[in-house]
Structure 1
Amino acid sequence: MKHIYVDNAGTTPMAPEVIDTMTDVMKNTFGNASAVNFHGRQARFILDNSRHTIAQSINAKNDNEIIFTSGGTESDNTAIIQTALLRKDLGRHIITTSIEHEAVLKPMEYLETQGFEVTYLPVDQNGVIDINDLKKAVREDTILVSIMMGNNEVGSHQPITQIGEFLKDKNAWFHTDCVQAYGVLDIDVQTMNIDMLSVSAHKINGPKFLGFLYKRDGINLPSFVKGGDQELMRRAGTENIPAIAGFAKAVEILTPEIKAENVQKFMELKKHLVTKLKENQIDFEVNGLLEEGELPQILSVWFKGYESDRLLTNLDLAGVSAAAGSACTAGSLEPSHVLKAMFGKNSPRVSETVRFSFGVYNTQEEIDVLVEKLVKIINRGK
């Protein structure tokens, strides 16, 4: 049985070019980038070039604004917790949204136990905040605003440029989790007035356990990981040069032309799936907006009257890998906090939703097979 993978928001398969790059570096460049000897200089060359490639991808002013981390979670934790500890004498108020990833929400909960006050902005039924709610929430003692660019469960796109414009003259620093948005949405930290930004490599066909934190010059956060002086004393630990080289290769692959092609492909796959469901008279609704500008790779679907855990189990048995929500909470019995924020905790959507997320290796033929299997499962369950 050929398995169909439509859980790319959870993780993506590594691109062959990435694997080749990492294999070559593992074989031939084993030095420690902090060493001043020949092998260390070889590793440092790869590290510096990779940092440059990634800095350019978001229009950072200089390469040293990029800090390599173990992934999006560490990047989020570093930006949030270290900002709070550094700026606590200026204020103890932080703003975020009710639909952030756990990598943002859990640090916020921790800071609340440390005497910080966190405002959680609500979202509408499309999963988008009202910019006026943010403007009303900002206070003199607000030291940080952390709002994700694109939601990992429903694909909603927050008004990041408007937020950055409003905050640029305020006391609060602006952080955004771009783990799902990076690689599909255009990101310019200058025009968007972003102070800090988190990304994970494995969402763009790169390696797992690697990401970066963009930190605007002038923001001097203490190292979150204590130890050596790597990453210009901003993140201790010997750099994973093969993975960093692979990450840079994944970014290089995403030229503006390729990115545009991917976005168009994902939208076509998304719309094709919706069309086929309608043709087969499946009773469903899309959670969020099915429009240009939202995250093109994510489609959240409410299958009315069919519990998501049962549907996912049957899909898995039929050879289809999908998800109910974030992979980081997939093992939990707790319903999606994103759907509860959008529709209320008593809405049937909370327990009857499946997320399909597309990647560069998916095809329309796979979607046809997916729908065929899905229709059989749903009709059998009636």
Structure 2
Amino acid sequence: MRAAITRAGALVIEEVPDPVPQAGQVLVRTLACGICGSDLHALGDPEAFTTVMRRSGGTPYDISNGVVLGHEFAAEIVDYGPGTLRALPVGTVVCGPPIGFGPQGSGIVGYTPAFPGGFGEYMILSEAFTLPVPGGLDPRTAALTEPFSVATRAVRRADLSSGEVTVVLGLGPIGLAIVAVLKARGHGPVVAVDFSAKRRALAEQLGADILIDPAMESPYERWTSLGVIPGTMDRMAAEYRGLRTTEVVLFECVGAPGMLNQVVAGAPAGAKIVLVGVCLRPDTVDSGLLANKELDIRGSFGGSPTEYRHTLRDIADGRIDAGAIITGTTGLSGLSDAITELAKPDHHAKIVIDPSLDH
């Protein structure tokens, strides 16, 4: 098959052996695969990416060499391996969480040579996690179930109550997905923050209530107008008097060095910070502020199979418009140019790969 494979940290289009499904696995033909921010991290700084993944219990493989990336996929069933139920007919369009396991071990699809990802013409998937795409849903949109399931998990990790102010910092695909999931769950107000006018417009399309360009206004200066008591002592005084305080949840979706400490400094007392953006370098946080403000930081990673299934249903039923963030489609031959374009936030939000476009 043709695939974009990592060689010395770069992507090279090569003919590589077709993957062979083993016990409990299914062979699929890639129809669509989104380019994820994690893929950009892996290509931009493979050593740091691999180090973080190893230390957190993820893939132990060297991402810079011999890996076919791509974990946001929709595909068509071609064949089954031995010991499979074969509940879905050949030709069924499927998607699923990028969890691979079988005789060759386990790992994240697209981050291990054992489970090549959607930047190739064929993949092998675990039958247990392979879901049929509801009829009529564009495979490009179905492929985005994965990043939107990440958002579903982040919102669940936030443990929101009615009336909480939510602030989404960074409107890349995951930030935009969090906006969409928050609104689908009936939460608001949702404050969406990004330097890019294009991405703020996409957030508005997905239901964001307040848009902020941090080049013009700090997102941490509206607490009072939103009914939030920002100071620790004022908040405690309100509690002593039995007054209700408006709670705040901030979703940090940037993942750049220094960003978390900026959020800790700007967050109001009692806020929850859900850390979704992945910073590949060690960072520092002002622990005094963290304690004195009684801030709660919680990490969030990929969606579970259950969260993936619920997200797919939300997309198929129209509660979440995942396709709204697609700003481009290309074949494998255009992958390198697409990665370059994604560095321009006013040009693109999400580019999807369709290997058939090269034929």
> After TM superposition, is the score higher than 0.5?
no
TM-score, normalised to structure 2's length? Answer: 0.31
Bigger fraction of residues in strand: 2
TM-score, normalised to structure 1's length? Answer: 0.30
